Amino acid sequence: MEKVTRLDWVSISLALAATIIGIIVLYGGGVTGEELARKKLIWLALCLVVMLVLANVNYQLLGSFAPIIYAGGIFLLILVLVPFIGKQVKGARSWFGLFGISFQPAELMKLVLVIALSKFLVLRETEIGKLKELILPAILATIPALLIGVQPDLGGAVMFMAILFGMLFIGGANTAVLFGFALVAFFAIFTPMFLEYEHYIIVDDVYARLREEHFRLADAVRILNFEVWKVAENLSYHTRMVADQTLVAWAKDTLSQGDNLKIFWQAAAEAEKAAPSFLRDMLRNTAVMLTIGFTGIGFYALGILGNFLTGSRWMKRVASIMLIVGLSFSSAFLSNKFLNFKPHQVIRIVSFVNPDKFQKGAGYQLRHSLITVGSGKFAGKGIFQGDMTKGDTPFLPEWYNDFIFSVVGEQLGFWGSSLLLLLLFGLVLRAINIAITSKDDFGAMLASGIALIFFLHIFINIGITLGIMPVTGIPLSFVSYGGSHTLLCYSCVGILINIYRRRFINA
């Protein structure tokens, strides 16, 4: 009886309430939703068993076996990439399939990373303010991020880096250093993505310049659309955004005939010249990028030397700023040379800025998501009464994972959505409270990491749904359909219960 009373019923109640709302919304989403709701119920039963097991196994063992657990997680991420072992879904090899059940190891790897980082941060608590102590945590997060990035799953990879920065901040790492690394990482990702996007937004201008005198070439550009740049650079490039391969073959053949490639690049140059962009031209200019990069690093060396000779602290501060500037531009140059974003990845990320530009592509889902969530108004259409997800061609396709909050808004309205947010953020606050009341550092770090996992998924998913963040394929904790993520969520709840129960035992 004591074991039952010492369970953290607050966490369990919040988690179950949010999950039940998810199941109800799924069931009201038509025939497809009804089937997914039944599957989620089966997953829920399994997840509750896992939760209770983790609630009764001393969480200190997780810290003791952290290296083995981490190695096991990395092994699964490598194994899922092997053909005939990993299951490919929508172009991403991210799943294991067995007896009709699919499992995504990347989801549980988030918890594995939190366990590993928690143990490291506790062991190096007094040294974590030093720059060299950030190397191992960075490696621990980068390895799974790279393995998930090549699946490819860009959103999942970014999530691991967010967990890394969050855990380091909680663990007491130097905030200025973290900000500097974040800025360098931003430049490294932003530069190639921005330059690719600059290519894509002038496709219509190129088409307009070609259609009068080179109408066949113009039609080829229109067919290939945003992927025309990749095809023009490599005619064997396999397109993803155009499904009709007969049209693709004709467009490639037309683009490669005679002087058509030369004419295409001339039209592209004229279109760019007619729409000047200082930032685009600067980021493309090798001399400018390298000059700023090396100048920043050079001034850093001079600042450190000046600090050493004079002991002046302002020189050290200026040197640190110049190092961030130098590394930012250097990383931007290198990433632009070696990091190759695919067209569908870039468009998926940037479509939230201007969804009307991509009405039939990446922006379609976002535009329809906003209409769906707004259609519920304050009171909602009622449980099971939503119509945006029903039929053979639903108004909001693939709503059950990334965009399930839109359907919550449709069926339950503003008040129901607000209730769900209270439940979800209540669970985040409960995890923080458990971290604060934990009697040992490892338990506190572990609970904080779990709160971070919940917060990132909730904040990013709802931000995607409302069009204020890029579409990155992040599910809504406890609510979205997805057995692997639900298993992650209830595993986290099980560990929270464990930390809560043992706060009277661990000193």
Contact 56, 8 (CB under 8 A): no
Smallest CA-to-CA distance from 80 within 59, 63, 91, 95 is with 95
Give the pLDDT band of residue 181 (cuts 50, 70, 90): confident
474 backbone φψ class: left, alpha, beta (φ>0; ψ -120 to 50): beta
Dist. CA 229–CA 239, nearest whole Å: 11
pLDDT of 356: 65
Q: Which residue has the tokens 């097991």?
A: 53
Q: What is the dihedral of CA 334, 339, 344, 348, to 10 degrees?
A: -60
Contacts of 391 (CB under 8 A, 6+ apart): 30
Give the pLDDT band of residue 258 (cuts 50, 70, 90): confident
Decide if pLDDT at 499 tops 60: yes
pLDDT, tens digit, for every residue of 441-461?
899 999 999 999 999 999 998
Percent of the chain with pLDDT over 70: 91
Mean pLDDT of 203-223: 85
CA 407 centroid distance within chain: 21
Decide if pLDDT at 482 tops 60: yes
Bridge partner residues of 89 (DSSP): 92
Phi, psi torsion values for 89, nearest 5 degrees: -130, 120
Percent of the chain with pLDDT over 90: 21
Bridge partner residues of 92 (DSSP): 89
Dist. CA 483–CA 480, nearest whole Å: 9
Mean pLDDT of 226-247: 79
Dist. CA 151–CA 135, nearest whole Å: 25
Classify residue 476 by its DSSP letter: P
The model's pTM is 0.83
Which range has the top average pLDDT, 292-296, 352-356, 360-364?
Answer: 292-296
Mean pLDDT of 240-267: 83
Give the pLDDT band of residue 49 (cuts 50, 70, 90): very high
Count how many residues are written for the chain. Answer: 507
pLDDT of 507: 46
pLDDT, tens digit, for every residue of 159-175?
888 999 999 988 888 87
User: What is the token pair recorded at 217?
Assistant: 């070439």
pLDDT of 114: 95
Which range has the top average pLDDT, 37-46, 317-326, 395-404?
Answer: 37-46
Alpha helices for 28-153 (secondary structure H): 30-56, 60-64, 66-79, 105-123, 135-149
Contact 254, 219 (CB under 8 A): yes
Give the pLDDT band of residue 33 (cuts 50, 70, 90): confident
Decide if pLDDT at 255 tops 80: yes
Contact 184, 324 (CB under 8 A): yes
Decide if pLDDT at 502 tops 90: no
* Tally: H helices and E strands in the chain: 22, 3
pLDDT of 99: 65
Of residues 315 and 487, which shows the higher confidence score?
487
pLDDT of 90: 65
pLDDT of 1: 47
pLDDT of 3: 57
CA angle at residue 351 from 393 to 273, to 5 degrees? Answer: 130
Alpha helices for 276-312 (secondary structure H): 278-284, 286-310
Dist. CA 410–CA 404, nearest whole Å: 10
Q: Would the CA dihedral through 7, 13, 14, 19 be positive or negative?
A: positive
pLDDT, tens digit, for every residue of 86-121?
776 666 677 677 766 778 888 899 999 999 999 999
Q: Which residue has the tokens 């119509």?
A: 387
